[in-house]
Structure 1
Amino acid sequence: MKKILLPLLSLVLVLFSCENEALEGEFSGLDGEDSSSSIVGAWTLVSFNNTISNTGEVNGTTVESNTIIESTDTNYNMTFTAANTFNAAGNYGYNVNSTVNGQNSMQDLSLDDVSGSGSYTVNGTEMTVNGGFFTLEFQGMDLSQAQGEQTLDFSITDNGQTLTFIQDTTETTTIPGGGSTTAEVTATSIWSRVTTTNTSCADAMDATSLAENAYNNDTTNAGLCNAYKTALQNQITVCGDANGSIQVIFDGLNCN
């Protein structure tokens, strides 16, 4: 599955290129960052919502659409490290309300065992991300055109406890086979800082070792796999990962 930052634009473009098929399949939301020092640590997703208004012409047909996606339940954590990397894992549900040329469709969807990773830089209240906070698959299609380096605004409020990402952009895309579309996209996600007890690097490494041994004894157990990933994520937060070796192990674990 492909990891992306802003899935909604890709979703609408795919809908257009497929001649306005009904909205089906899996879809996932977006996110961002804050001041490089204060953003370091673990955050849990509170909510996300995305709105896209799209107009254009595809194969000689005028297309107008409006899509609203709102989270319904979330169990998804993301960790930013001092080495300017991030990783995320968990699951979430969302509602999709889409109207294309006057035809409306609504779906309640959910994604399990979602993961994301990449690198980031911060300049004031602007973050540039290379990678994806979420994973997206839609009707078995590769939506990776939304993957890669993207920029978004963020703020940290409530005495450092709330992180908000906002992405507001307009993009025009040429459709293969003829036509183009212009999308106005507004996306927001809200995260809450995860409060953790003071853990030494040695303790974090010991916890990772225990989780690794348990997983190696039963590599088909999804629960042990996810526990190992959580321990690795915590070790990155506490100890750092200067050479990226822990992140490589994290990315290589498939808990499905």
Structure 2
Amino acid sequence: MKKLALILVTILLVFSCGDEVEFNSPAIQGNYNGNLWRARSYAADIDFGGFLVQGSNNIETLQLITQDDTAGVYNLGGDSPNVAIVKDANGVVYSTANDPDPSFSLYPVEGQIIVESIINTTPKTMTGTFWFYAFTNDGLQTVNFNEGVFHKVPIVGGLVVINNGSSCLQATQQVNITQAAFNATSTTMPDYTDACSAYKTALVGKIDACGDLDGSQQLIVDGLGTCIP
């Protein structure tokens, strides 16, 4: 009898300690400022050439944005085009695109979005993990997520990036789109001039929105010349 009771207790422990995400599909959850956070609504989109994953518990909203729409590791922080955004219950927006004020934190923004798989169902779904530190536009407030998971989130479209006080994200993603089109267009093709001009315009827009401290973006613009083959 004691052995049977021990077996039953062991089985209960195994199931109660298992990965809850496997029993909540789809799901977006993680530790938000040290507390378990679960989304009540979730969806994903492909926009500006990358993924936009969104979860909300009807009070706070989380968005994860990648520069490409393929599985892989996307690093956050610095000049990265990949961004994580949190809008809290008071409407305050935190983003990994914002740097901390030196008087508030000496630690740089960091984090990762890891897209592990995209399943070709109807609609398609995506699964992965994430963690990050994000700051307000003035760099004086911060939030963090760790052990974050998005599991079989449907890619249904129709999402809009939360206004995080910076147009750098959209400008960078527009460069990615036009660069891909430009790279696929040879100088002998009739639409070369249009593809080149669109890429050049997007680069100038990125310089205006994000800056160009090392001058690398301006070098590309100069190298494109008049876009006449």
Superposition TM-score, scaled by structure 2 size: 0.34
Higher-strand-fraction structure: 1
Higher-helix-fraction structure: 2
Higher relative contact order (CA 8 A, sep 6+): 1
Superposition TM-score, scaled by structure 1 size: 0.31
Radius of gyration: which is bigger? 2
